[in-house]
Amino acid sequence: MSTSGGFYRMLGLVVLAAFFGPASVFADNSPRPDVPREHPRLFGTRAELQSLAGARPEAYARMATVARRGDADDHSLMMSMALVAAIEDDALLGRRCQQLAMKFVDGPIRKGHVPFGADLALCAVAYDLCHPWWDEEDKQKLYDYVNRTVDANVDSETHVFHNGWYGYKNWGIGLACYATYHTNPRAPKILAALEQDYRSRAAPALELAGAGGGWAEGYYVHYWLYEWLLFCEAARRCSSNDWMAAAPQFYRQRAIAGMFEMYPGISQYGSRRPAPMGDGGGRRFGGDRDKALAARRILVDRFRDDPEHQAVHAFNERTPRSSVGNYAYKDFLWRDSTIQSGDLSRFRLSHISPGPGYVYARSSWDDDATWFFFKCGDRYTAHQHLDVGHFLIYKHAELAGDGGHYDAFGSTHDVNYHLRSIAHNTILVHDPRETWPAIRGGRVTGNDGGQHHDWPHHNGAVSDPQQWFQGREQYDIAQLLAFEDHGHFLYVAGDATRAYSPEKLDYFTRQIVFLRPDTFIVFDRVKAKDAAMKKTWLLQAMEVPSGEAPELVITNGPGRLFVQTLLPPDATTQLYSGDELYSYGNRHYPPSRDTGPAPKCRIEVSPSKPSQTDFFLHVLTATDADTDAVPRAVVADSPLETIVTVGAVRVALAKDRVAARMAVDGRWTVLGEHPDG
């Protein structure tokens, strides 16, 4: 199977006129008759909001405290004030909220890569819910502010694979249009142009890079998705227009993927931490955790009759309050305890998102579960890393992590370490002649031996699906070959060959068997163009390991990972930590700031003798930190296959293709076989 899926590769995507171009903005579009004229309307009528306050008194009381205390951030404060003012018909609170909106209206027009959409959204909410307290002069100022902001940002945030389209720009434009629909003459036309762009470019992008609910951009989905879903819900309330229906492969699976993206366990302030994927990473506590929860709640409500979403609801209810007190309004609007809860303990333990090429798996739905993530997908946007084949392992704490720090976009550390293959759990093949062009506008001086970067735009991004298909030969760089969950074990396989320069690599395929509850067999086939090109297997250890190769032990707080290197025979293992961690090739690339807990050691495993083809076999076992030992794996290697035995389990892995078979108590199961691997 392809990371994009055969259906998506066959799409005949036709992209319409550029967003907000003259033909779109000034097209003759009649207003939608189904948008109510009464206010409030974005989140329901006043009567509906009052009923909600009666049904959710605890969340409402907390929200009212935030509104009247008045010391929260603009977003939390204005959302809370507007809702309470509308529900209680509180003129004083309503005027205060309206005056906060006028700070944006009377201020400079913001444009470019800044969240001007958030400004528009807050003004829209203040206008809609505090409508009785706006005089005519301020209303006209608001309409002018909305229209001028739209005009100033015709060319801003147009890439639909990037968070800015959804979170920086269009949720605010959309809310402003629905809020002022019948009074701002341009609102219907602007909204029509937005919808045209969404349906012709953005929705196909969500289907292509987001099939299965994951998102190729990675961690940034937790920054923008909530705001965009808030707009989608407001649009559904204001009209019969269901924006989610345009991309069912993304929206119908997003809450499930989002649930799998949370590390097991409840951490700071009752929150769950999303796993790092690409830029961002959320290593320190932040409001993105509450946005992820609120986004899942919106989707669960949207698909409330679906048993899988009812299981997500059960998961959500384990963290019933937003962890940031100022976000009480999110609990008020989106936590619906009347939704039927599914039996989470019986829910499947793995999920695949073929669009971005993600596989997620757990040992159970308990908070002490072993957790696993594997990435083998295509290239779409700037926030992705050169990390095809990368995996993560978590047990009580991060064990195999994601290296480096996102200290700044395009910094020396970012382009030479943080986003490069050397900072991930994948393979290096070193060609001393290889060079990299500028990445993210940053100067590349390091040859890490990793995956190449040869995209026309220095960010490695495409603007929309049409451009992706036009340059597919460059962007279609990986393929998930297998995904089989047999209950007591999971088998995944991926081909990462095209992620590397064809001048140095014939193939790199990775197969992983997750023996539940805690053991991973990782088998890699790597063939270089030249035997002299050194191959290196990487593991980013959250702490400096103890023990001696070929058996190392990584202990991070309450979790522990046992690492057994079985192939290559007589492998050379090197550990880089401290001042050496961010160094390679006699160059040093330290981060300019600490963004939170990151791997403290890079483990590099290489063959002791040069060979054109090498096989890497590792057995990784996640345990509690007080576990002293795990069963030693035994390997039987032959020219045709490698057989590894772990306890009562035997796994045979073919050497000439991507194929495997597994035996428990002598009974063999044939796993995915791919002759073209």
Give me the DSSP letters along 508-541: EEEEEEEETTTEEEEEEEEEESSTTSEEEEEEEE
pLDDT value at position 12? Answer: 32
Are 284 and 298 within 8 A, CB to CB?
A: no
The two beta strands, 546-548 and 551-556, are antiparallel
Angle CA(639)–CA(449)–CA(529) in degrees, nearest 5? 45
Place of tokens 């349906």: 199
Are 624 and 560 within 8 A, CB to CB?
A: yes
User: Per-residue confidence at 29, pLDDT binned at 50, 70, 90?
Assistant: low
Q: Detail the DSSP E strand segments found in 118-253.
A: none
Which one, of 426, 425, 385, lies nearest residue 409 by Cα? 385
pLDDT of 401 higher than 70:
yes
Instruction: Label each residue of 469-503 as H, E or C.
Output: HHCHHHHCCCEEEEEEECCCEEEEEEECHHHCCCC
Are 466 and 658 within 8 A, CB to CB?
A: no
Range list for CATH 1.50.10.100 in the chain: 6-346
Question: In terms of CATH, what superfamily is 6-346?
Answer: Chondroitin AC/alginate lyase (1.50.10.100)
Q: What is the mean pLDDT of residues 172-177?
A: 98
pLDDT value at position 33? Answer: 77
Residue pLDDT, tens place only, 444-491:
999 999 999 988 888 889 999 999 999 999 999 999 999 999 999 999
**Rounded to the nearest 5°, which phi and psi values hold at 417?**
-140, -65
Q: What is the mean pLDDT of residues 408-425?
A: 98
Distance CA(389)–CA(261), nearest Å, equals 17
125-130-132-138 Cα dihedral, nearest 10 degrees: -60
pLDDT value at position 231? Answer: 98
Helices assigned H by DSSP within 153-180: 163, 171-179
Task: Enumerate residues 6+ apart whose C-beta is below 8 A from 505.
Answer: 429, 497, 526, 527, 528, 529
Assign a CATH topology to domain 357-674.
Answer: Beta-galactosidase; Chain A, domain 5 (2.70.98)
Are 279 and 219 within 8 A, CB to CB?
A: yes
> Could you tell me which residues are beta bridge partners of residue 577?
601
Are 125 and 77 within 8 A, CB to CB?
A: no
* Prediction pTM value: 0.94
Distance CA(647)–CA(664), nearest Å, equals 9
Distance CA(204)–CA(534), nearest Å, equals 41
Q: How many residues does the chain have?
A: 677
Q: What is the mean pLDDT of residues 353-366?
A: 98
Q: What is the mean pLDDT of residues 224-235?
A: 98
Instruction: Tell me: cis bond preceding 550? Omega within 30 of 0 counts.
Output: yes
Buried b (16+ CB within 10 A) or exposed e, 52-69: bbeebeebbebbbebbee
Q: Count of H helices and E strands in the chain? A: 20, 24
Residue pLDDT, tens place only, 278-332:
999 899 999 999 999 999 999 999 999 999 999 999 999 999 999 999 999 999 9
Place of tokens 């963290």: 319
Q: What is the mean pLDDT of residues 377-397?
A: 97
Distance CA(369)–CA(372), nearest Å, equals 10
Distance CA(618)–CA(409), nearest Å, equals 34
Q: What is the mean pLDDT of residues 404-415?
A: 97
Cβ-count burial of 407 within 10 angstroms (0-12 exposed, 13-18 middle, 19+ buried)?
A: middle
Place of tokens 């040869």: 454
Residue pLDDT, tens place only, 126-174:
999 999 999 999 999 999 999 999 999 999 999 999 999 999 999 999 9
Count CB neighbours of 529 within 10 A: 15
Distance CA(252)–CA(308), nearest Å, equals 10
Range list for CATH 2.70.98.70 in the chain: 357-674
Return the SS3 of 71.
Answer: coil
Question: How far is CA 513 from its chain centroid?
Answer: 23
Residue pLDDT, tens place only, 638-652:
999 999 999 999 999
Q: What percent of the chain has pLDDT over 90?
A: 92
Q: What is the mean pLDDT of residues 386-391?
A: 98
User: Per-residue confidence at 673, pLDDT binned at 50, 70, 90?
Assistant: low
* Amino acid in position 475: Y
Distance CA(290)–CA(332), nearest Å, equals 13
Which one, of 171, 199, 135, 194, lies nearest residue 42 by Cα? 171
Helices 288-302 + 221-238 axis angle, to 10 = 40
Which one, of 538, 509, 540, lies nearest residue 523 by Cα? 509
